[in-house]
Structure 1
Amino acid sequence: MKLNGNEIRPGNVILHKDSLWVAVKVQSVKPGKGGAFAQVELKDIVSGTKLNERFRAAETVERVQLEQKEYQFLYAQGDDLVFMDMESYEQLELQADFVGDRVAFLQDGMMVEVESYEGKPLGVKLPQFVTLEVKETEPVVKGQTAANSFKPAILENGIKVMVPPFVGEGEKIVVDTTEVTYSKRAD
């Protein structure tokens, strides 16, 4: 789908210089002299490199639609992660790099969204919230009632998060996977 240079929005994926780029920031500029243009910060989907580019309103770029499909995480095998398509039962092996530092949040049977372009996987999107057990934390100190006091806790997957004083060892909490922060106690 063709887009004019001034129609690019943050989150759009475009084909530029024979690579796939996602628009991170877009700023419309109307100089006193000359035509208006969009100053766009692009990030290469595959390598992660960034690029600042100017697109005039008359220029066109190719907008790309990524295919998104749900897969179930099965297991990790060395540096590879194995997922299964729940419709065709085909297995997909991806490098742990696709998930990045959030790989510790993957749990057996977890449903994830795999983004791909022309059949080539580009990334894995985890659920925003995951329930995990607190394995290690400091005991509650009586009289510690400061409103914003938090204490460190180590979760079952080895990740450290800050939790409120009332959370103890063995309790299950909900963690935000994008921010890697405590969200609430699990029900």
Structure 2
Amino acid sequence: MISAGEFRNGVTFDMDGNVFQIIEFQHVKPGKGAAFVRTKIRNVISGSVVEKTFNPTDKFPTAFIERKDMQYLYQDGDLYYFMDNETYENIPINADKLGDNFKFVKENTDVKVLSYKGVVFGVEPPFFVELEVTKTDPGFKGDTATNATKPATVETGAEIKVPLFIEEGDRIRIDTRTGEYMERA
């Protein structure tokens, strides 16, 4: 059992026969009245997102989510194929089950496939990936404003903001959770 006061991002719990995952949470203690927990939760099976408030003492059974290591192989239309690293079985997953951060994953990358009672509902890429910059504008001498950035396209086709000194062909490290440039690789 987990109480609403213990909610954190990524926690999964069972409520009214459905499994929900916390996307965002905020503990609120107003000047008047009792404290409460404001959340944005996603139904892991249907994918719908709702905002809901809870009393911090509300308790819910924890839902066990299976996280299986798999390797991303290739894309064919709306289907993305993953290989189980133990059985070498190929599993197709529809594009709508992949999050926005999957745009940083290139072929042959190990990921975690999330499922509940055998139903796949998401894919977790590694927290950090190293990718090559394939297209960006050149930085000009004298462009040294603090924290100045420019758009860059990486080898997976994703576009991110990078510092002015990054050039085409550079390998960079990206945090897939935020989609931000971290450092040169």
- For the superposition of Structure 1 and Structure 2, which TM-score range results when normalised by the shorter chain? 0.7 to 0.9
| TM-score normalised by structure 1 residue count | 0.82
Structure 1 residue aligned with 2:152 = 153
Q: Which amino acid aligns with 1:172?
A: R
Q: Which amino acid aligns with 2:19?
A: L
Q: Which amino acid aligns with 1:52?
A: K
SS of equivalent to 1:113:
strand
Structure 1 residue aligned with 2:174 = 175
Note the residue ranges of structure 2 that are not aligned, 5 or more in a row: none
Structure 1 residue aligned with 2:130 = 131
C-alpha distance in 2, partners of 1:147/1:28?
35
Structure 1 residue aligned with 2:139 = 140
Q: Does 1:10 align with 2:1?
A: no
Query: For each residue in 1:16-62, what CA deviation from the matched residue of structure 2 results, as whole angstroms up to 9, or x when unmatched?
Result: 122111244264779988xx7854525122323214144574x6432
Provide closer, same or farther for how the CA distance between residues 175 and 42 of structure 1 changes in structure 2, counting only shifts above 3 A. Answer: closer
Q: CA RMSD in A?
A: 2.6
Answer whether contact 1:131 1:174 (CA < 8 A) is retained: yes
- CA drift at 1:64: 0.9
C-alpha distance in 2, partners of 1:31/1:141?
52
SS of equivalent to 1:97:
helix
Structure 2 residue aligned with 1:164 = 163
C-alpha distance in 1, partners of 2:53/2:89?
40
Larger Rg: 1
More off after superposition, 108-117 vs 36-45: 36-45
The percentage of counterpart residues that share the same residue type is 30
Answer whether contact 2:114 2:120 (CA < 8 A) is retained: yes
Structure 2 residue aligned with 1:48 = 48
- CA drift at 1:71: 0.3
Q: Does 1:118 align with 2:117?
A: yes
| TM-score normalised by structure 2 residue count | 0.82
- CA drift at 1:86: 0.7
Provide closer, same or farther for how the CA distance between residues 61 and 139 of structure 1 changes in structure 2, counting only shifts above 3 A. Answer: closer
Dislocated runs of 4+, deviation >3 Å: 5-8, 26-33, 36-40, 53-57
- CA drift at 1:173: 1.3
Provide closer, same or farther for how the CA distance between residues 16 and 114 of structure 1 changes in structure 2, counting only shifts above 3 A. Answer: same
Answer whether contact 1:21 1:42 (CA < 8 A) is retained: no
Structure 2 residue aligned with 1:19 = 18
